[in-house]
Amino acid sequence: MPRDAAEHTRARVLWLARLEYRFHAWRERRARHRGLTPTVMTFPGYGGEGWVRVLGRVMIVPLLPARKRREVTASVRGWRSFAAVPIGFAQVRVTIAGVDHDVVADRGGVVDVTLPADLEPGWHSFTVSVEGGEPVESRCLVVAPDTRFGIVSDVDDTVMVTALPRPFVAAWNTFVVDEHARQPVPGMSVLLERIVREKPGAPVVYLSTGAWNTAPTLMRFLTRHLFPSGALLLTDWGPTHDRWFRSGRTHKLQNLRRLATEFPHIRWLLIGDDGQHDDDIYTTFAGESPDSVAAVAIRRLSPAEAVLAGGRTVVDDHSAADVPWVSGPDGAALLDRLSEVGILDSDVRPSA
């Protein structure tokens, strides 16, 4: 693209990003005029020796009549997650082990900060509040310094059948379908639970290109279908200063590189599917940081799922790679393949 045309495109996208921010600011003013105040939606984080990564989002959630609240409890539609108003640049207080930290959310209301904290390995609770409001509890897993294994898993069509990225199907699943109708990929919860049971203390990170708006729905889904607890690393939709939409590939690679830097002693099992670009992303990361990758497991979509997802991406031949690469149609098949390459104990079989 010629330089002048590229600069024109960036200027146009920047204008759109400003328009998006002004729209949310207008929604915020209306909500505050109605007497509504911000709160913080907290998401599980993680940490290491002397630090924790705190994740959350500052929102104003519209009030619903009692009858509507009962309907929400009985049937939760995805669009309700997008009805809340994000509060950009909100002043947030995080209290960890009795120590207060004042931080600022980004322009989309997202809180993603690393804070000092002297905590023992394991799960810990702390509180987050905004504008002096009621503190909200959050959690993080502090990884022990002797931990050598971890899991990074994609979400869409890896642990949850969503038929992404075909736009209309994705919109239907996100905004219309009752969240209780979402189905887990067969055997994936057993696979992940088996791994964390066999490798105590292994951190689990759910790395997805999904929007932060979907985080509450995703957390309920993971709990309902007995997936192990783990940190959520999602992204934000909409334009940036130089793109119409945020790059999911960049989001995943940046977080994988960050995990490799934060935990240089951990080798990660990377789990994804062939419906998006997981194979390409994991290939790039494994080439950059081979010592940070224990193995890669790619779930193959069924023919029907592949049609809904707009086809499969090409999975390269990794037979000569130093890092084991396995594939299979579900969690049970991946478990078998991972046992064959020595990632799991082949003598221990999960219960039916």
Q: Are residues 203 and 109 both part of a single domain?
A: no
For the whole model, what pTM was predicted? 0.83
C-alpha 40/C-alpha 58 separation (Å) is 4
Q: Are residues 130 and 195 both part of a single domain?
A: no
What is the token pair recorded at 185?
């990929």
pLDDT of residue 101: 98
Residue 154 pLDDT > 80: yes
Q: Are residues 262 and 171 both part of a single domain?
A: yes
- Say if CB 228 and CB 219 are below 8 A apart: no
Nearest to 126 by CA among 91, 94, 101: 94
Most confident of 12-21, 82-91, 207-216, 252-261: 252-261
Lowest mean per-residue pLDDT among 137-146, 215-224, 245-254, 261-270 = 245-254
pLDDT of residue 306: 55
Domain boundary among 111, 142, 173: 142
Choose between 334 and 215: higher pLDDT. 334
Q: Give the list of residues 6+ apart from residue 346 with CB closer than 8 angstroms, or none.
A: 339, 340
Domain boundary among 142, 173, 208: 142
Alpha-carbon torsion, ordered 13, 19, 24, 30, to 10 deg: -170
Query: pLDDT band at 303, cuts 50/70/90?
Result: low
Domain boundary among 122, 142, 162: 142
Average pLDDT taken over every residue of the chain? 81
Q: Give the list of residues 6+ apart from residue 138 with CB closer than 8 angstroms, or none.
A: 42, 43, 44, 45, 54, 55, 56, 125, 126, 127, 128
Residue 266 pLDDT > 80: yes
DSSP 344: S
Lowest mean per-residue pLDDT among 63-77, 105-119, 205-219, 300-314 = 63-77
- Sole residue written with tokens 């082949």: 346
Q: Considering Cα of 344, then 337, then 335, then 316, what sign does the dihedral take?
A: positive
- Is residue 331 one of the residues assigned to a domain? yes
Kindly provide the b/e burial profile for residues 220-251, where b requires at least 16 CB atoms within 10 angstroms of the residue's own CB.
ebbeeeebbebbbbbbbbbbbeeeeeeebeeb
Q: Are residues 68 and 201 both part of a single domain?
A: no
- How confident is the model over 34-47, as pLDDT tens digits? 888 898 999 999 99
Q: Are residues 177 and 286 both part of a single domain?
A: yes
Say how far residue 173 (Cα) sits from the centre of its chain: 17
What angle is formed at CA 297 by the lines to CA 294 and CA 299, rounded to 5 degrees?
170
- Is residue 68 one of the residues assigned to a domain? yes
Q: Are residues 107 and 194 both part of a single domain?
A: no
Query: pLDDT band at 1, cuts 50/70/90?
Result: very low
Please state the rounded mean pLDDT for residues 333-352: 77
What is the token pair recorded at 132?
């002096």
Please state the rounded mean pLDDT for residues 318-330: 83
Structural domain span for residue 296: 149-340
Choose between 76 and 146: higher pLDDT. 146
Compute how many other C-beta atoms are within 10 angstroms of the C-beta atom of residue 262: 15
pLDDT of residue 22: 76
- Is residue 80 one of the residues assigned to a domain? yes
Query: pLDDT band at 347, cuts 50/70/90?
Result: low
- Say if CB 259 and CB 207 are below 8 A apart: no
Residue 205 pLDDT > 70: yes
Q: Are residues 175 and 129 both part of a single domain?
A: no
Q: Are residues 122 and 199 both part of a single domain?
A: no
Residue 241 pLDDT > 80: no
- Is residue 6 one of the residues assigned to a domain? no
**Bridge partner residues of 54 (DSSP):** 113
- Say if CB 90 and CB 31 are below 8 A apart: no
- Phi, psi angles (nearest 5°) of residue 227: -80, 150
CATH number for the domain spanning 100: value is 2.60.40
Cis previous bond, 86, omega within 30: no
Query: pLDDT band at 301, cuts 50/70/90?
Result: confident
pLDDT of residue 66: 47
pLDDT of residue 343: 93
Overall domain count for the chain: 2
Lowest mean per-residue pLDDT among 37-46, 62-71, 130-139, 322-331 = 62-71
pLDDT of residue 84: 78
- Is residue 352 one of the residues assigned to a domain? no
- Is residue 17 one of the residues assigned to a domain? no
- Is residue 345 one of the residues assigned to a domain? no
Lowest mean per-residue pLDDT among 34-38, 280-284, 334-338 = 34-38
CATH number for the domain spanning 153: value is 3.40.50.1000
pLDDT of residue 239: 44
Q: Are residues 110 and 167 both part of a single domain?
A: no
Choose between 121 and 315: higher pLDDT. 121
Q: Are residues 179 and 234 both part of a single domain?
A: yes
Q: Are residues 126 and 197 both part of a single domain?
A: no
Q: Are residues 166 and 128 both part of a single domain?
A: no
- Is residue 31 one of the residues assigned to a domain? no
Lowest mean per-residue pLDDT among 134-143, 149-158, 179-188, 287-296 = 179-188
- How confident is the model over 170-193, as pLDDT tens digits? 555 555 556 666 789 999 999 999
